[in-house]
Amino acid sequence: MHLLRTERDLGYMSRNVVIFAAGSRGDVQPCLALGRALIQRGDKVRVLASTRYQDLIETAGLDFHHLPADPTEIIESAEGQKLLSGRSNPVAFIRSIKKVLQPRIAPILARTQAGAEGADLVLAPTFSFLGVHLSQYLRVPHAIIHFQPSQPTSMFPHPLAPAARFLGSLGNRLSFDAVDLGSWLVCRQFINTWRRESLGLPALSLLEPFRRVRRAPVLCAFSDTVVPRPADWGPNVHVTGFWHHEQPHWDPPRGLLAFLDQGPPPVYVGFGSMKTSDPEATARLVRMALRRAGLRGVLAGDLATSEEDMFVVGDVPHDWLFPKTAGVVHHGGAGTTASALRAGVPALVCPFFGDQGYWADRVHSLGAGPKPLPALHLTVPTLAQRLNALTTDTTYTESARRLGRALKSEDGTARACSVLDTLVPV
């Protein structure tokens, strides 16, 4: 290994790494952190993502490849709102996903194939077993990326199937296969057509992808301080720590700096790419709750203008802003959860769907914030009460600071790079 690294330092060896990042910003940013770490070691990195994140990716020094899918536009569409409304019903949820994907998946797969050409290593999430197909097509290794604990275990259920915990350890373990099977059933017809007609590969049976994916290397892009590693995860599963991306070349607006200096630390409120059925009403509700709690606010969004006690922001790096706040109210995306915990400030999570409920429970269980308040249950009185607890209960502040110190001591991207070095020698 020492000899290989010496050769690489001399410029003799380099890998072409392709990272599939079709999700929201919370999915893209960790990939940028890993990509920058790989580039610093001499690799070439291409990120497949929505055009919405092109500037973010290219500013980080990575090669960008466009995918014809914008998660924010999907969430805001009529189909996306139906997807959110069916989140408590697994059958309705799967049907909604299929309706959302059907007109989009063929062009996504075509662009994915084009973007993966020339790769020596493919990194992708489990959904639709994309890494398996590209690995077979290109005849190169692949690794799975998990932003939440999606690897089968008997210790807890899949984050998307929390009710399975009532069935005990067996139910927990089977919930992971059920979620993966559901996604495969949604995509199997489209994927197998793509395999035959574009990749020149045979169609896969119902269970064949499971046999391949369960043996693949797994990079869990979260910390075992937040998610203790289950004892039944195999040696192919690597809990690396969160992949933290610091956005370069960013200067804070003067108005925001002035607002922060004019009073006590505010509370940040932002729900990422999530949208309620009436965003304007939600914005009014948030302002009223903050004022009832006697708090200043920094609000993410574009539905209203700033006021004396409320400052509206657009794209502000969380790692810069969060440490300057008294607390953070967010939707529970994996990336935002990691940023809030790393900042050492307490958080109130208002989950919408997906794995957000899991992260909301983890934040509360770790003592870093009050009981979660699902977005469906947002009212002025309930939010004001949670905000009071968030900013006055010192146990939340102390726990958040302790977690922040622990997470800042970790280097998740370095650990991930070490794992990848064993797949394609450097």
Structure confidence by residue, pLDDT tens digits, 274-291: 888 888 999 999 999 999
Q: Is the pLDDT of residue 18 over 80?
A: yes
| Alpha-carbon span 307 to 267, nearest angstrom | 14
Percent of the chain at pLDDT exceeding 70: 89
More confident residue, 414 or 103: 414
Q: Is the pLDDT of residue 71 over 70?
A: no
Q: Give the domains, in start order, of the chain with CATH numbers.
A: 2-69+104-242+410-421 (3.40.50.2000), 254-408 (3.40.50.2000)
Q: Is the pLDDT of residue 208 over 60?
A: yes
| Per-residue pLDDT tens digits for 378-396 | 999 999 999 999 999 999 9
| Per-residue pLDDT tens digits for 165-176 | 999 999 999 999
* Cα three-residue angle 233-402-316, rounded to 5 degrees: 90
Residue 42 has a pLDDT of 93
Q: Is the pLDDT of residue 76 over 80?
A: no
* Cα three-residue angle 258-260-262, rounded to 5 degrees: 70
Residue 79 has a pLDDT of 60
CB-based burial label for 331 (10 Å; 0-12, 13-18, 19+): buried
The three-state secondary structure class of 162 is helix
Mean pLDDT of 110-122: 96
* Cα three-residue angle 367-368-374, rounded to 5 degrees: 100
Residue 342 has a pLDDT of 97
Contact 60, 245 (CB under 8 A): yes
SS (H, E, C) 176-191: HHHHHHHHHHHHHHHH
Sign (positive or negative) of CA dihedral 113, 115, 116, 118: positive
| Alpha-carbon span 195 to 211, nearest angstrom | 18
Give the pLDDT band (50/70/90) at residue 3.
Answer: very low
Q: Is the pLDDT of residue 221 over 60?
A: yes
| Per-residue pLDDT tens digits for 239-267 | 999 999 887 677 899 999 999 999 999 99
Residues contacting 195, CB < 8 A, separation 6+: 133, 201, 202, 203, 204
Q: Is the pLDDT of residue 10 over 50?
A: no
Q: Is the pLDDT of residue 294 over 70?
A: yes
Give the pLDDT band (50/70/90) at residue 32.
Answer: very high
| Alpha-carbon span 420 to 126, nearest angstrom | 17
| Alpha-carbon span 267 to 261, nearest angstrom | 14
The CB density around residue 267, as the number of other CB atoms within 10 Å, is: 24
Alpha helix ranges (H) inside 50-201 = 54-59, 71-76, 78-85, 90-101, 105-116, 130-138, 168-194
Contact 37, 417 (CB under 8 A): yes
Mean pLDDT, rounded, of the chain? 89
Mean pLDDT of 114-140: 94
Residue 81 has a pLDDT of 58
Structure tokens at 65: 């490849």
Q: Is the pLDDT of residue 4 over 90?
A: no
Instruction: State residue 219 phi and psi, 5-degree precision.
Output: -105, 110
DSSP state of 198: I
Which residues lie across from 17 on neighbouring strands?
45, 121
| Alpha-carbon span 279 to 323, nearest angstrom | 27
Q: Is the pLDDT of residue 2 over 50?
A: no
Sheet of 310-313: strands edge to edge? 310-313, 297-300, 267-269, 327-330, 347-349
- With CA atoms as reference, report the closest residue to 81 among 286, 351, 353: 353
